[in-house]
Amino acid sequence: MGKYQDFYRRSIEDRDAFWAEQAQFIHWEKAPELICDYSNPPFVKWFKGGLTNLCYNAVDRHAAKRPDAPALIYVSTETGEEKTYSYGELQREVERMAAIYRRLGVEKGDRVLIYMPMIPQAAFAMLACVRIGAIHSVVFGGFAAASLATRIDDAQPKLVVTAEAGMRNGNVIPYKHLLDEACRLAQFPPEKVLIVDRGLDPNFARVEGRDLDYATLRDEVGEARVPVEWVDATHPSYILYTSGTTGKPKGVQRDTGGYAVALASSMKHIFCGGEGETMFCTSDIGWVVGHGYIIYGPLLAGMATVMYEGTPLRPDPGIWWRIVEKYRVNVMFSAPTAVRVLKKQDPSYMKRDLSSLKHLFLAGEPLDETTHRWIHEALGVPVIDNYWQTESGWPILALCRGVQEDLPIKYGSPGLPVYGYDLHVYREDGTECGPNEKGIVGIVPPLPPGCLATVWGQDERFVSTYFSLFREPLVYSTADWGIKDENGYLTILGRIDDVINVAGHRLGTREIEEAIQANPAIAEVAVVGVHDEVKGQVPVAFTVVKDPSRIATREARRALEEEVKKTVDELLGAIARPHRVYFVQGLPKTRSGKMLRRSLQALAEGRDPGDLPTIEDAHTLEMVAEAIRES
């Protein structure tokens, strides 16, 4: 690992020179005066004094050189639409959206909240914001009204961009009435709402004087040209709320210059994608992966990016692989959860020409060794696990094969610390762990470019949330347990609050999930800690089986439950044995694959799961609740 070790070491020990080199991947209208300003720890300002623009770097510079090259490939298996936008066409559409913003009074620094399905206009809306220096806040198009209202109140947007409806699994999901309800609940509703009418919900209501039609305004602005607004590198590019927030939401605030440099650098060194190639990220723009690797990252690299509206199973489980084949996808990025879903399907669906595919990257939840090995062997291409957070904006752990091609894959591990992250594993007393010792994953600041600059409007919360666990030395806490082996590879064991304390024994939910998945009957599992009067907490498992006939009767469910418990006994010992094993049809999770564990825990404890679920997850949670009642 010598070549990468040298690269990584230089990023930590010769930080400013290293990042000055990485900054050359983007265009600067004015060169930075200072690479790293860390004069006010833990806050950091990257590329201070530099002027740049995220939209120019992602769109205009490529459109000038390669106007006919494909930029945005839209595929919807929900509506049957497919359309490819060249870089020249993408620039025109983004300028039209920016002209609409200007007409509606949106200025530099104003917030625009985007509540959209996976359609091209959502990409136009994001890129138009950063083009004029406005700050976008994308809210996943499945969030319910109360959750949307809290985000409206925190960001206080001048404008909301939405569609009247989305589609999921062939079903129309009305958005407009949810937005109307959110505006009614919000203290600071927007002045204007811009609606993309897809013709899916002909009965949606318009609010006179507030609601405007996108298609009408697009025609009116015509060929209007909107030049880019050159902004300081430290200017906020967007706010993204961490999923699962309750009460006052926590808005991750991202800068412009540092984010552009980090993403452009990651496309070369981590994702190995280059100009003229194609990337297919199966996430949603409502999540951080969608921001970075559907919209900005591939476009910064001059690639074509696939924007997919649909599920991995509709019209059949071969759809993703047909997209890879048809569009000659070179780099694919998905989630372990999606792979586990595909693992249950007939393997013949993967029999396509996948020769263009160089890598599959997976992130969102820990990738178990069994699934990692299966998808690697099934595809015959390297499958690179990687670990990061909404807060980091790009991978913290990965294998940077663009730096050193022969970095070995370790099944079940997301790999090595990524350059720029001074990463260590700590005991709870703040001392550093040795090899193969479980501890808390932390990063010595300054955080590298691309990470959150602060929490929107709450600097004190930025410090108290992320930098209060360890003060000597000051450390950013990921709030995740991990183990680093003797070769520097890390394994993530789960959230600190996902560690169960059973009668004084600390058990990671990841460890119990791994044991349960060793049972050949189990396709997917989530383990949560549930309050117990005697033991403090006990593990409870929610599982999806491969063959539903195994749980056709109450007696069959009981028999398989005992079998699963015995599997855990054999692998981890009786202390880790689940108190209950519930068999469910599906597990609630975000589009990026993050499990809604707190909702599962609340149901298991007989509590209200709260406003965490998205619209579609509400149905899944009801099925979970029914499984608990029937047991």
In the 3-class helix/strand/coil scheme, how is 549-590 assigned residue by residue?
A: HHHCCHHHHHHHHHHHHHHHHHHHCHHHCCCEEEECCCCCEC
Between CA 350 and CA 212 the distance in angstroms is 44
**Residue ranges in 171-248 assigned as alpha helix (H):** 176-185, 214-221
Note whether residue 492 is domain-resident. no
- From residue 567, how far is each of 447, 516, 564 by CA, in Å? 42, 7, 5
What's the average model confidence in pLDDT over 417-445?
A: 95
Query: Does some domain include residue 276?
Result: yes
How does residue 263 score in pLDDT terms, banded at 50, 70 and 90? very high
pLDDT digits (tens, 9 = 90+) for 609-627: 765 445 555 677 778 888 8
**Rounded CA gap, 291 and 592, in Å?**
11
Residue 75 in any domain: the answer is yes
Pair (425, 540) in one structural domain = no
β-strands 454-455, 251-254: how paired?
Answer: antiparallel
CB atoms within 10 A of CB 13: 10
> How many alpha carbons fall within 13 Å on the CB side of residue 122?
29
Q: Contact 349/532 with Cβ under 8 angstroms? A: no
State the average pLDDT for the chain: 92
Read off the pLDDT band of 546 (50, 70, 90): very high
- The per-residue pLDDT for range 182-240, each reduced to its tens digit, is 999 999 999 999 999 999 999 999 999 999 999 999 999 999 999 999 999 999 999 99
Residue 337: per-residue pLDDT: 82
Kindly report, residue by residue over 73-111, the tens digit of the pLDDT. 999 999 999 999 999 999 999 999 999 999 999 999 999
Residue 495 counted as domain residue: no
pLDDT at 345 over 70: yes
Distance CA 148, CA 141 (A): 9
pLDDT attached to residue 493? 86
Residue type, position 520, single letter: P
Higher-confidence residue of 417 and 369: namely 417
Q: Give the CATH number of the domain where residue 159 resides.
A: 3.40.50.12780
Give me the residue label for tokens 């498992």.
541
Cβ 379 vs Cβ 350: under 8 Å: yes
Q: 343 exposed, middle or buried (CB, 10 Å; 0-12, 13-18, 19+)?
A: middle
pLDDT band at 58 (very low <50, low <70, confident <90, very high): very high
The CA distances from residue 103 to 194, 229, 324, 405, 521, in Å, are 12, 16, 40, 49, 58
Do residue 431 and residue 525 come from a single domain? Answer: no
One domain, residues 50 and 125: yes
Helix intervals (H) in 104-159: 120-132, 145-155
> What is the arithmetic mean of pLDDT over 444-458?
97
Under DSSP, is residue 607 helix (H, G, I), strand (E, B) or coil? coil
Tell me, what's the pLDDT at 616?
A: 54
Is residue 494 one of the residues assigned to a domain? Answer: no
> Are 51 and 228 contacting, i.e. CB atoms less than 8 angstroms apart?
no
Tally of domains within the chain: 2
Residue 614's pLDDT is 54
Which pLDDT band, with edges at 50, 70 and 90, does 146 fall under? confident
- Domain identity same for 12 and 80: yes
546 in the same domain as 410: no
Looking at the fold, whether 388 and 512 belong to one and the same domain comes out as no
pLDDT band at 593 (very low <50, low <70, confident <90, very high): low
Tokens of 439: 């501890």
Share of the chain above pLDDT 90, in %: 74
pLDDT at 244: 40
Are residue 355 and residue 281 in the same domain, yes or no? yes
Same domain, 453 and 564: no
Whole-angstrom Cα distance, residue 271 to residue 293?
Answer: 10
The pLDDT value given to residue 613: 44
CATH of residue 566: 3.30.300.30
The answer on pLDDT for 490 being more than 80 is yes
**Pairwise CA distance, residues 451 & 167, whole Å:** 32
**How many whole angstroms separate alpha carbon 170 and alpha carbon 158?**
33
Residue 175 in domain: yes
Q: Which residues of 128-160 are buried (b: 16+ CB within 10 A; e: fewer)?
A: bbbbbbbbbbbbbbbbbbebbbbbbbbbbbbbb
Domain that holds residue 365: 2-479
Is residue 415 domain-shared with residue 469, that is, in the same domain?
Answer: yes
Please check whether residue 496 lies inside any domain of the structure: no
Q: Does residue 505 register a pLDDT over 70?
A: no
Residue 151 has pLDDT above 70, yes or no: yes
Which has the minimum average pLDDT: 56-65, 217-226, 397-406, 573-582? Answer: 573-582
- Is residue 315 scored above 90 in pLDDT? yes
Greater confidence, 141 or 317?
A: 317
Query: How is residue 254 annotated by DSSP?
Result: E
Average pLDDT over residues 381-396: 96
Instruction: Calculate the alpha carbon distances from 312 to 318, 340, 345, 589 in Å.
Output: 8, 11, 11, 14
Looking at the structure, tell me whether residues 534 and 458 fall in a common domain: no
Q: What are phi and psi of 551, to 5 degrees?
A: -125, 30
Q: Tell me the pLDDT band of 472, cut-offs 50, 70 and 90.
A: confident
In a domain, 491, yes or no: no
In this structure, the answer to whether residues 471 and 509 fall within a common structural domain is: no
Element (H, E) at 524: strand 522-532
**353 and 465, same domain (yes or no):** yes
Contact 129, 224 (CB under 8 A): no
Instruction: Kindly tell me if the per-residue pLDDT of 420 is higher than 60.
Output: yes
**Which pLDDT does position 246 carry in this prediction?**
40
CA distances from 3 to 250, 280, 533 (A): 39, 29, 53
% of residues, the chain, pLDDT over 70:
95
Phi/psi of residue 235, nearest 5 degrees: -65, 135
- Helix, strand, coil percentages (3-state) for the chain, rounded to 5, are 35, 25, 40
| Residue 21 confidence class, pLDDT cut points 50, 70, 90 | very high
Alpha-carbon span 117 to 176, nearest angstrom? 12
Categorize the per-residue pLDDT at 469 as very low, low, confident or very high, splitting at 50, 70 and 90.
confident
